[in-house]
A and B are shown apart, each in its own frame.
Chain A
Amino acid sequence: QQQVKQSPQSLIVQKGGISIINCAYENTAFDYFPWYQQFPGKGPALLIAIRPDVSEKKEGRFTISFNKSAKQFSLHIMDSQPGDSATYFCAASRDSSASKIIFGSGTRLSIRP
């Protein structure tokens, strides 16, 4: 019930294309869903996050789509660039500063020039 399942494990997209990463969760108590971007040898950086009261959130080229009934959410990266090549983690937690985050397994994204 605590798991967050993430797919695909790796993804190759041409420059300018759309990158899509999908996640699913079981625990309906989760109400905060962040995405993190991690470059090799660095800590994860918060990219964008959504709460279940909205179905979509967009920040620049990054969009989260959220389907509460299906318990699924996804990250779309529009106009993907080589600089977007990184590992992306979806996550879920309770909406509280003291709540631990449950991470997905990660997606290694490569953008081909």
Chain B
Amino acid sequence: GAVVSQHPSWVICKSGTSVKIECRSLDFQATTMFWYRQFPKQSLMLMATSNEGSKATYEQGVEKDKFLINHASLTLSTLTVTSAHPEDSSFYICSASDRGRSEQYFGPGTRLTVT
């Protein structure tokens, strides 16, 4: 149980284009989803927290107009990187938690490369 999937697992895009990453909870209802980015050999950096049906809460320093987060249902959240630049290249990871439980379950990550 408690499986979280991400799609795509990797993506290469040209500078200036937008990329959408999907995060799905497969066997539970995710009342809260979190989006992280991780640079090589570094820890996870929380970008934003989203609750189903409400606007995401962004961490300080994260541009909400650049990283659009939509948590439209209890099993799906999307992260759209708009007008991507090479410095946005990173490993993006989502996690999800179920109502009443503290455990966060992580997706397998999406490797984004912007050329």
Residues of A at under 8 Å CB distance from B? 32, 34, 36, 41-46, 49, 89, 93-101, 103-106, 108
Contacts and interface: CB of A to CB of B under 8 A. Distances in A.
Majority secondary structure, A binding face = loop
Nearest to A32: B102
A44 B106 contact: yes
B44 A44 contact: yes
Contact of B49 (A32, A45, A95, A98): A98
Contacts, number: 63
A51 to B, nearest CB: 9
Contacts of B32: 97-98
Interface residues of B, number: 29
B49 A34 contact: no
A95 B43 CA distance: 21
Given A95-B102, A97-B98, A98-B97, A42 B44 contact: no
A96 B102 contact: yes
B111 A41 contact: yes
